[in-house]
Amino acid sequence: MKFAVVILACVAAVSAQYRPGQYQQYQPYRVNQYSTPKPFRYNPVVYNPTPAPVPVAIAPVAPVVPVARAVADARNAQTLKYGNEVNPDGSYSYFFETDNGIAAQAQGTPRNFGGNPPVVPDVAQGSFSWTAPDGTPVVISYVADENGYQPSGNAIPTPPPVPAQIARALEYIAKYGQKK
């Protein structure tokens, strides 16, 4: 009996929420402001084979010199300089500078290693800089090529020197080897 009362209560609740015309029938070809049919236009694709890119040596890049500027709120920084160029051969270069002391620049060119399929990674180099909260300029320069990402700069941590005792022990092991 309790089960019948629960079922009856559920049916009553569902029927009380039903309103005729609430759900319209699905009309897949109905045209409205969001689904206006567009005329079909044929755009043929023209294939123009291009010769393989010639490796180009990348000139050394001078690191970006940070400009010590301060903005009360970094979220309101304005872009002072911006440039972006992408060439048909795959080479590119870009730069930007903001009024809060952030600056970056990079360029890259594809380097063809041959192979089947051909391996043509981009070789990129550039730098970026910003002003630390204590006012010191931070500059990072990098090269990214087949040897990986190689950053350098004043904010990159360096390992401590090897202690003299460890260096002597390594020399001894290299000279006399380990006895078995």
SS3 (DSSP) at 139: strand
The mean of the pLDDT values for the chain is: 75
Residue 97 contacts residue 79 (beta carbons within 8 Å): yes
The per-residue pLDDT for 177 is 78
Identity of the residue numbered 80: L
Closest by CA position to 112, among listed 50, 48, 47, 46: 50
Q: For residue range 85-119, what is the model confidence (pLDDT) as tens digits?
A: 998 888 899 999 998 889 999 999 888 777 777 77
* Residue-level pLDDT at 119: 72
pLDDT category at 17 given cuts 50, 70, 90 is: low
Q: What is the CA radius of gyration of the chain?
A: 33
Q: What is the pLDDT of residue 8?
A: 73
pLDDT at residue number 71: 46
Distance CA 57, CA 34 (A): 52
Between the two ends of the chain, the Cα-to-Cα distance in Å is: 87
pLDDT at 73 over 70: no
